[in-house]
Structure 1
Amino acid sequence: IVDAAMNNLIRPSLYQAHHEIVPLLLDERPHKVVDVVGPVCETGDFLAKDRKLPDIQPGEYLAVTGAGAYGQALSSNYNLRPRIAEYLVDGGEVRTIYKGQTIEDIFQEFEI
């Protein structure tokens, strides 16, 4: 279970789009076939199925590549989940291209 969910990248759930998922810690751990799923309580909350990945440990980061315009533009606040930050990797440079939201950002949209 990863922190990102179907509300952050709907394409795999919606029509089985393929995005490479790469651990940022590259090492020689053995790989196994896994499903990469999110924390939303929905059967469609997955980013990938049947992928060969190393044994990822809590706190490790994964890069979901090729999201491009399909990430933030198609994301939602389903289940009151904040939109996540997005980064652009260009050669050896990493830049934040969308800062993401906090739960406070979402609550500011409501008038109660």
Structure 2
Amino acid sequence: EVREGDVLVFRNAGAYGFEMSSNFNSRLKPAEVMFLDGKAHLIRKRDEFEDLLKNQIEVL
């Protein structure tokens, strides 16, 4: 049973990894954590809502 706070590992995610992800339907990209020698290292921060808007240009 998975509980809040558990660490889940998805190996070989293929097209479902960060490189092929998109923000379609305003989905935020998750953080990425690398485990090396049993220690967790944050290698990419998760998106925040402001990240979706930062490159948009106001038209009106």
TM-score, normalisation: structure 2: 0.71
1:95 equivalenced with 2:20 (yes/no): no
| Offset, 1:106 | 0.7
RMSD, matched Cα: 2.2
| Offset, 1:60 | 4.0
Q: Which runs of 4+ in 1 moved over 3 A?
A: none
Q: Which residues of structure 2 form unaligned runs of 5+?
A: none
What secondary structure is seen at the aligned counterpart in 2 of 1:63?
coil
Residue aligning to 1:9: none
Q: Which residues of structure 1 form unaligned runs of 5+?
A: 1-54
What secondary structure is seen at the aligned counterpart in 2 of 1:95?
strand
Aligned partner letter, 2:12: G
Identity %: 30
| Offset, 1:74 | 0.9
TM-score, normalisation: structure 1: 0.43
1:105 equivalenced with 2:51 (yes/no): yes
Residue aligning to 1:76: 22
Which structure has more helix as a fraction of its residues?
2
Higher relative contact order, structure no. (Cα contacts within 8 Å, ≥ 6 residues apart): 1
| Offset, 1:80 | 0.5
What secondary structure is seen at the aligned counterpart in 2 of 1:64?
coil
